[in-house]
Chains A and B, each alone.
Chain A
Amino acid sequence: MSLRSPLGRVLGTGSAKDGTGHWWAQRVTAVALIPLTLWFFLSLLLLPALDYETVRVWLAQPVSSLLAVLSIAVLTYHSYLGTTVIIEDYVHGGSAKVVSLMLLRFLYVLLGGAGILAILRVAFGSLAP
């Protein structure tokens, strides 16, 4: 006999209330990152040099900009999911845990947002300050 309520069984999200959402997002972003990261590293390796003009021209190409934006977005999300679990595992005590999880989320949004903005500035040829 199961003590789980009929509603709980239908929702199927278990005692933590969020089911497999985190786990599945981690897997989906992992699969997406295989081609994205390999593209990124191979593209850089295949460039004749890593000087300013070469890298700028490469990143300003539409395909490069698009894939670079996707890479940063998926990379920061995947990394956010992973480091969240590490904090949940090792940081205990109510407020320390809540504050560090919130700070982590803010940091990742800041980091990803800054990276994507930088790519867009290169892509749209914004003037250097």
Chain B
Amino acid sequence: MPVRARPLSPHLGIYRWQIGNTLSILHRLTGIALALGIVALSYWLISLAGGDAAYGSAIRVLWSPPGILFLVGWTFSFLYHLLNGVRHLFWMPVMASNAPSGT
């Protein structure tokens, strides 16, 4: 099917940069970082089940300079995502009170 140039709704470029969208984008980025962190978390748990030697090598990987950088970034992502997520939860009663009831 031929793709024709269709009119588009206003895209990112025309909006003024604001605090709100920065926080929203950061929430998504930290979410991606935390998802990668689940890989590290599973790796750590699997190494613990694998015995002393396996755990030791996992700790060496996590305590290497890139590992520490990752853990610091992960900690920041966790705290940001947690606090911003709680902020989202506080909006729920407001949204519920604004929502049309039923139908």
- A-to-B contact residues, CB < 8 Å: 2, 9, 12, 27, 30-31, 34, 37, 41, 50, 52-53, 55-56, 59, 68, 72, 75-76, 79, 82-83, 86, 111-112, 114-115, 117-119, 121-122, 126, 128-129
B69 at the interface (CB under 8 A from A): no
Query: CA A72 – CA B43 in complex, angstroms?
Result: 12
Docked Cα-Cα span, A50 to B38, in Å, equals: 19
Residue ID in chain B nearest A116 by CB atoms:
B45
Question: CA–CA, A37 to B12, complex, Å?
Answer: 34
Interface size on B, residues (CB 8 A): 28
Q: Is the CB of B89 within 8 A of A59?
A: no
Option from A53, A79, A114 in Cβ contact (under 8 Å) with B31: A79
Q: Told that A2-B103, A30-B89, A72-B42 touch, could you supply 13 new A-B pairs with CB distance under 8 A?
A: A27-B92, A34-B86, A37-B82, A50-B59, A76-B38, A86-B28, A86-B31, A86-B32, A111-B42, A112-B42, A115-B46, A128-B50, A128-B54
A86 to B78 alpha-carbon distance, docked (Å) = 18
Task: Select which of A9, A12, A75, A122 is within 8 A of B48 by beta carbon.
Answer: A122
- Beta-carbon contacts under 8 Å, B65-82 to A: 78, 82
Q: Can you sample 7 A-B contacts with CB below 8 Å?
A: A2-B103, A50-B59, A52-B51, A79-B38, A111-B42, A118-B49, A128-B54
Q: B residues within 8 Å of A by Cβ?
A: 28, 31-32, 34-35, 38-39, 41-42, 45-46, 48-52, 54-56, 59, 78, 82, 85-86, 88-89, 92, 103
A83 with B82: CB separation less than 8 A: no
Contact B45 A118 (CB under 8 A): yes
Kindly provide the distance from the CB of A15 to the nearest chain B CB, expressed in whole angstroms: 15
Q: A9-B103, A34-B82 are in contact. Are A115 and B41 (CB under 8 A)?
A: yes
> Given contacts A75-B38, A111-B39, is CB(A82)–CB(B51) below 8 Å?
no
| A52-B55, A83-B35, A114-B42 known; A122 vs B89 contact (CB < 8 Å) | no
Q: Kindly list chain A residues whose C-beta atoms are within 8 Å of the C-beta of B103.
A: 2, 9, 12
